[in-house]
Amino acid sequence: MRKKKVLVAMSGGVDSSVAAALLKTEGFEVVGATLILTDQVFSEGINFAQDVAKKLDIPHFVLDLTKEFEHEIVDFFCKEYLSGRTPNPCIVCNKKIKFGFLLTRARALGADYLATGHYAKVVYDDATGRFFLKKGKDAKKDQSYFLFALRQSQLTPVVFPLGKMTKTEVKEKAKEIGLQVFDKPESQEVCFIPGNNYKNFIKGRFPRLNEKGPIVSTEGKILGEHQGIFSLTVGQRKGLKIAKGFPLYVISLDKATNAAVVGRKEETFRKELIVSQTNWVSIKSLDIPMEVKVRIRNQHQESPARIIPLSEGRVGVEFFKPQMAVTPGQAAVFYDEDTVVGGGWIE
């Protein structure tokens, strides 16, 4: 009987390196692949991945997806910010690049599975006949939020070897098997934004962009001027440069009038929101209201809410307690304990 073949997305970091090592130990035929996603080729990451592949004695290749990444992720990112929304490009990248184009390439190579170093779990549920997406063991590193948009066809061939491990355990395993990346620092930034400066990135791509506009109070009084709504986000406090005697926060961004509405902190709280482009994971569809916990940003604490089916794939969310800075463009992900029920994009 032939070994099951798995393609591992290897960034050169400790997580994907250990994922590859674990799968080889488990008896899989492992092939490593490193993605080039921007014109700024991260040669260091490629070199690290190649060194790990050599250490593990597995084949490794480099896949250039710069055109696909530019079209699907970077263009999307800029368009969202310019329309007054705050995007989450990592979720879209997972859906369209890592578990889209790369999954297609994996199948073309005859791979049975695609593996990554994500801290999450995929479990088949006999009762429903569906693949469930669950939180990883390490609560601080859990990445299920970033994976909610994956469909059943994408979850079926996916393997997450690190789902049952903590980050500390992963680093210890890397050190144990002699991988030099065991103490390699990890980036917390969006990979294609130099210095994590979104404003400069967008201005660099649109040098003639001049979208200055009014900063107004909730009563409509002009308080100041912003340098473009793409440079602001709901809930933002710093950088408004307005003296009012008390802290001001961005409450909303109006693309139609190019205005940023600001107010007191308590005015940023909302009890309701609407999401669109929903994707269901543990259920086939939402037909009746359901009580879940909702996370409206990756670092946001989940909060109990009722989700209600609306028309055209939209869902209403009613929180039991108001939430701060509900931000259009971000994802709202629904949980039942440690299981992802589904999610969508905040309108």
Judge if 5-194 and 269-346 fold alike in CATH terms.
no
CB atoms within 10 A of CB 159: 21
Amino acid at 249: Y
Residue matched to tokens 């578990």: 99
Tell me which DSSP letter residue 268 carries. Answer: G
For the sheet containing 5-9, what is the strand order? 60-64, 29-36, 5-9, 113-115, 158-159
Each domain of the chain, given as residue ranges in start order, spans 5-194, 210-263, 269-346
Q: What architecture is the 210-263 domain classified under in CATH?
A: Roll (2.30)
Q: Which two tokens stand for residue 66?
A: 């710069």
Q: Half-sphere exposure of 256 toward its Cβ, with a 13 Å CA cutoff?
A: 1
90 catalytic? Reply is no
Give rounded-to-5 percent helix, strand, coil for the chain.
Answer: 30, 30, 40
Residue matched to tokens 């092939």: 31
Q: Please provide the CATH number assigned to the domain covering 269-346.
A: 2.40.30.10
Q: What is the pLDDT along the chain (347 residues), one digit of tens a residue?
A: 678 999 999 999 999 999 999 999 999 999 999 999 987 756 678 999 999 999 999 999 999 999 999 999 999 999 999 999 999 999 999 999 999 999 999 999 999 999 999 999 999 999 999 999 999 999 999 999 999 999 999 999 999 999 999 999 999 999 999 988 777 777 667 888 888 888 888 988 887 777 899 999 999 999 999 989 999 999 999 989 898 889 999 999 998 999 999 999 999 999 999 999 999 999 999 999 999 999 999 989 999 999 999 998 899 999 999 999 999 999 999 999 999 999 999 99
| Active-site residue, from 33, 73, 90, 93 | 93
93 catalytic? Reply is yes
Q: Please provide the CATH number assigned to the domain covering 5-194.
A: 3.40.50.620
Of 47, 46, 59, the C-alpha closest to 20 is 59
The whole-angstrom separation of Cα 294 and Cα 339 is 12
What lies within 8 Å, CB to CB, of 142 at 6+ separation is: 119, 120, 135, 136
| Active-site residue, from 82, 191, 193, 290 | 191
